[in-house]
């Protein structure tokens, strides 16, 4: 990979200059000489030299990779021009997954309460988690995707109670999770809600005993239909009731109590409770004490999160798994008392949870360090994301003002179909294409933005074939596929006939693997999403290039040798866009 080879060469040269630093190489601006460059302004204070002098000295010390034609000092930058033949050969190389690395990465995402249908706020969680799992797998990691089912929580208990209390019978006309969700909303709008608490508590205790699992599973199966429609993948389902039965909480507390930072105060507001002092691991806390078990004996959700994390990383055992019967995911396994024992022993975990859970996730990491595993604490990552608005509105499931994911998918398909019919009335499979465009619009809108920034999903913007959208990239892919479909067979390219247009397109193709690795390392799909937008823009610029009012880059009618080079680049462009979209969980239509 070009950028990383340059960064390594710069790192070695800087060490000779007395600085053990790694600088980031980026594409050089179009109005500057060279293809890549590195800024050196930040080194001026350290080396007590002007940036231009540093660039000159660095050039003299660099052992340039063989694919670099020239290093060019430009102001406070050192730029690099690649050899055109090497550049084109690299661009024409087929992109393949990275070699496998040791160490399991466990990603937990979705984990929706099994009490009602998925709403638009869940979209971002699913899109981020699923895309990151795909990216990490391509980057060579062994990935396991987990979906946590809170079947002993209050939300599930309230839905099951409401279904019984109101005597509701499903008629099969709507998805079962929507039917159950209406019962949940009705309960929360019931003026008698407070007086119904004893009945809800009875259902809650029955859930904790694992007695109502099939009723919860009925809702879960309907939810899984939505997850499958979103093209999300899972390996494991872990049920809260199985965690309770396996006694993981008690085992985790026993581990924690061996630490001097976990104790029971004899006086004050925490008297009788089991608390954790997090101050050695989370500095600057106003109150460093966190309750794990209340004085009355009830465990907090902090303690439950910690116990589950301990199991994920192999500090606890006790869960068993068997195949999960369902029509959507053939290889899916579920926790079950009668299954086979399994513990992931992940070296890294990624918990995809919204930004409001940042504090509890910090406590999970602190607990890992507290029981003597700082290396596991280092490997526990919280992929925090901000909320999603729909057409500028905040969602609330409890108040019944949320819009379901199923509704969003259907509306997006309806609008996409209208666009496909308008742009290509002779399309051979309009419905299929519309479904692909709708899914691309939704999923791309959820991952294109840095996770910690709020999203306002708007149908018209997301479904546009122009701008920073999934359909824009899908259309670029379909355009490339159209050329290849007409090309037939072709022979060897003549690299010597390359023009600056081919060189520019080749440069854009070069950065795919860098984008995948950066997205994997930073644990955020938006890096890859932005790269695909940039690549699509480069392809559209190439396709539409004009000289003297005529097409500057015809592919099928180009002279022999140049035609083959252009077709080779178009093929790699099409494959790269398809591969990149696939890593974001988005289909790549061949015709739009």
Q: Taking each helix axis as running N to C, give the angle between helix 358-370 and helix 301-312, from 0 to 180 degrees, rounded to the nearest 10.
A: 60
Distances in Å between the alpha carbon of 169 and those of 65, 183, 218? 71, 11, 13
The CB density around residue 531, as the number of other CB atoms within 10 Å, is 20
SS (H, E, C) 350-392: EEEEEHHHHHHHHHHHHHHHHCCCHHHHHHEEEEEECCEEECC
Let me know: does 252 contact 303? Beta carbons within 8 Å. Answer: yes
Tell me what pLDDT residue 284 has: 85
Q: Distance between CA 144 and CA 141 in Å, rounded?
A: 10
Per-residue model confidence as pLDDT tens digits over 263-300:
999 999 999 999 999 998 888 888 899 999 999 888 89
Q: Is the Cβ–Cβ distance between 346 and 322 less than 8 Å? A: no
pLDDT reading at 400 higher than 80: no
Percent of the chain residues past pLDDT 90, beyond the cut = 91
User: What pLDDT digit, counting tens, does each position of 10-46 carry?
Assistant: 999 999 999 999 999 999 998 899 999 999 999 999 8
SS3 of 309-331: HHHHCCCCCCCEEEECCCCCCCC
**CB-count exposure of residue 168 (10 Å: 0-12, 13-18, 19+):** middle
State how far Cα 441 lies from the chain centre. 16
Phi, psi for 291 (deg, rounded to 5): -80, 125
What is the tens place of the pLDDT at every residue in 126-171? 999 999 999 999 999 999 999 999 999 999 999 999 999 999 999 9
- Inter-axis angle of helices 562-583 and 500-510, to 10 degrees? 30
pLDDT, one tens digit per residue, over 530-589 is 999 999 999 999 999 999 999 999 999 999 999 999 999 999 999 999 999 999 999 999
pLDDT at 74 over 60: yes
List, for residues 87-114, the tens digit of each pLDDT value: 999 999 999 999 999 999 999 999 999 9
If residue 117 lies in a helix (H) or strand (E), which one and from where to where? Answer: none
Whole-angstrom distance, CA of residue 347 vs CA of residue 344: 9
Element (H, E) at 424: none
Q: How many CB atoms lie within 10 A of CB 206?
A: 16
Residue 521 CA to residue 236 CA, distance in Å, equals 24
What's the pTM value of the predicted model, to 2 decimals? 0.94
Q: Which residues pair with 455 in a beta bridge?
A: 388
Q: What pLDDT was estimated at residue 285?
A: 86
Q: Are 67 and 91 in contact (CB under 8 A)?
A: no
CA 13 – CA 58 distance, rounded (Å):
7
CA–CA separation, 230 and 273 (whole Å): 44
């Amino acid at each position: 990979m070009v950028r990383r080879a340059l960064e390594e060469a710069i790192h070695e040269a800087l060490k000779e200059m007395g600085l053990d630093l790694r600088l980031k190489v980026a594409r050089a601006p179009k109005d500057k000489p060279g293809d890549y460059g590195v800024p050196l302004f930040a080194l001026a204070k350290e080396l007590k030299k002007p940036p231009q002098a540093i660039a000159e000295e660095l050039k003299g010390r660099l052992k340039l990779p063989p694919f670099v034609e020239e290093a060019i000092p430009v102001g406070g930058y050192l730029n690099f021009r690649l050899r055109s033949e090497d550049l084109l050969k690299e661009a024409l190389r087929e992109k393949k997954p990275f070699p496998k690395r040791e160490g399991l990465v466990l990603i937990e995402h979705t984990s929706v309460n099994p009490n009602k249908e998925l709403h638009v706020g869940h979209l971002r969680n699913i899109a981020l988690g699923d895309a990151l799992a795909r990216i990490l797998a391509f980057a060579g990691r062994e990935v396991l995707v987990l979906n946590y089912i809170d079947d002993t929580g209050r939300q599930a208990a309230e839905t099951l109670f409401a279904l019984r209390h109101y005597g509701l019978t499903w008629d099969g006309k709507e998805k079962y999770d929507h039917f159950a969700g209406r019962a949940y909303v009705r309960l929360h709008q019931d003026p008698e809600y407070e007086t119904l608490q004893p009945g809800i508590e009875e259902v809650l205790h029955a859930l904790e005993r694992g007695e109502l699992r099939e009723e919860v599973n009925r809702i879960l199966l309907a939810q899984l239909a939505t997850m499958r429609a979103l093209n999300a993948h899972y390996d494991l389902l872990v049920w809260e009731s199985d965690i309770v039965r396996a006694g993981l909480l008690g085992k985790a507390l026993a581990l924690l109590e061996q630490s001097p930072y976990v104790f029971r105060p004899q006086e004050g507001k925490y008297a009788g409770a089991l608390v954790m002092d997090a101050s050695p691991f989370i500095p600057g806390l106003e109150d460093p004490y966190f309750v794990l078990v209340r004085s009355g004996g009830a465990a907090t959700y902090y303690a439950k999160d910690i116990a589950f994390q301990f199991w994920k990383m192999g500090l606890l055992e006790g869960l068993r798994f068997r195949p999960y019967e369902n029509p959507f995911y053939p290889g899916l396994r579920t926790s079950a008392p009668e299954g086979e024992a399994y513990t992931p022993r992940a070296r890294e975990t990624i918990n995809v949870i919204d930004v409001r859970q940042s504090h509890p996730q910090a406590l999970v990491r602190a607990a890992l360090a507290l029981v003597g595993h700082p290396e596991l604490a280092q490997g526990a990552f919280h992929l925090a994301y901000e909320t999603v608005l729909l057409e500028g509105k905040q969602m609330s499931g409890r108040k019944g003002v949320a819009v379901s994911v199923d509704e969003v998918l259907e509306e997006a398909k309806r609008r996409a179909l209208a666009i496909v019919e308008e742009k290509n009335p002779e399309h051979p499979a309009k419905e299929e294409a519309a479904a692909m465009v709708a899914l691309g619009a939704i999923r791309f809108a959820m991952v294109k933005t840095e996770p910690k920034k709020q999203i306002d999903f708007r149908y018209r913007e997301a479904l546009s074939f122009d701008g920073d959208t999934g359909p824009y990239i899908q259309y670029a892919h379909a355009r490339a596929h159209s050329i290849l479909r007409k090309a037939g067979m072709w022979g060897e390219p003549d690299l010597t006939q390359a023009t600056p247009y081919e060189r520019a397109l080749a440069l854009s193709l070069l950065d795919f693997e860098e984008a995948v690795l950066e997205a994997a390392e930073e644990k955020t799909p938006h890096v890859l999403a932005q790269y695909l937008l940039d690549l699509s823009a480069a392809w559209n610029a190439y396709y539409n290039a004009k000289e003297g009012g005529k097409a500057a880059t015809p592919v099928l009618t180009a002279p022999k040798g140049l035609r083959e080079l252009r077709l080779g680049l178009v093929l790699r462009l099409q494959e790269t866009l398809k591969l990149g979209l696939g890593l974001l969980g988005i289909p790549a239509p061949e015709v739009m």
